[in-house]
Structure 1
């Protein structure tokens, strides 16, 4: 895939996900939340120049560092989601203003990693953006699912 198509896919996914997260919606804990991140990661990992061949070690450190910070941003995003039960006991979730700030923060962190790479003259594939997005979505969904289980444990008196 071309860099432009990777960026367009990433932007479309972000718009779709953020739009959904800001609306109150019933949380389906049986949903395959890992499917979209898996598809995005598979597309990203098909890129033969995910790591700049001219600067392999530096590029690998940049990718690893950016993915590590992405994990942190995904956790932060997952904690910004409001979780509650309705009168029927159904679990609901909705993003907050903090969710928007988490997204802005994630974009700024991603831009900072690209800036560091550019300063070091390391070519950074747009597939790294897609891989980061996949990881961000996976970590956020995992965090929300974990929080939902904790809510269920408290509800059933299983919390330690």
Structure 2
């Protein structure tokens, strides 16, 4: 996959993810993990994740980027409103804080690219897909965990 196509794919998936997170949706852990796992696999299959000319710096930046992506996935998961309706169905919806957390994630990604570029590290778009996929996986898992740990006695008659 060429760089431009991967970047457009990442932007389209980011837009879709933010759009879907801002809508009232049922909590469904299985379906929520499919697309993020596909993104991670595509990113890994693209290869070139480590710049061989700057291997240690490249590995350090990639590791830090993935840790920050996972941490921001956790943060976004806690910005999501999660509730159980009177029938016991679990729902979730993003808040303004979720959008802010996405903006922080985007800024963090640009920051890693800027630091890497200043150090001469060549970045491939595979790492964008992995960053996005991992962040979404972590967010979905944490939201599902929050939802499962809700007491069914806390059912509410609220739709968003």
The alpha-carbon deviation at position 141 of structure 1 amounts to: 0.2
TM-score, structure 2 length as denominator?
0.91
Equivalence for 1:12? 12
SS of alignment partner, residue 39 of structure 1: helix
1:140 match: 139
After the TM superposition, list the runs of 4 or more consecutive aligned residues in structure 1 that deviate by more than 4 angstroms: none
Q: What are the ranges of 5 or more consecutive residues in structure 1 without an aligned counterpart?
A: none
Q: Distance in 2 between matches of 1:85 and 1:142?
A: 17
Q: How many corresponding residue pairs? A: 154
Task: Give the structure-1-normalised TM-score.
Answer: 0.91
Q: Encode CA deviations 1:35-91: one digit per residue, 9 max, x unaligned.
A: 212211111111231111111111010000100111110000111110112222211
After superposition, where does 1:9-158 map in structure 2 within 5 Å? 9-29=9-29, 31-151=30-150, 154-155=151-152
Root-mean-square deviation (Å): 1.5
Whether the aligned pair in 1 keeps the contact of 2:116 and 2:123 (CA below 8 Å) is yes
Gaps in structure 2 of 5+ consecutive residues: 155-160
Return the alpha-carbon distance in structure 1 between the equivalents of residues 115 and 93 of structure 2. 34
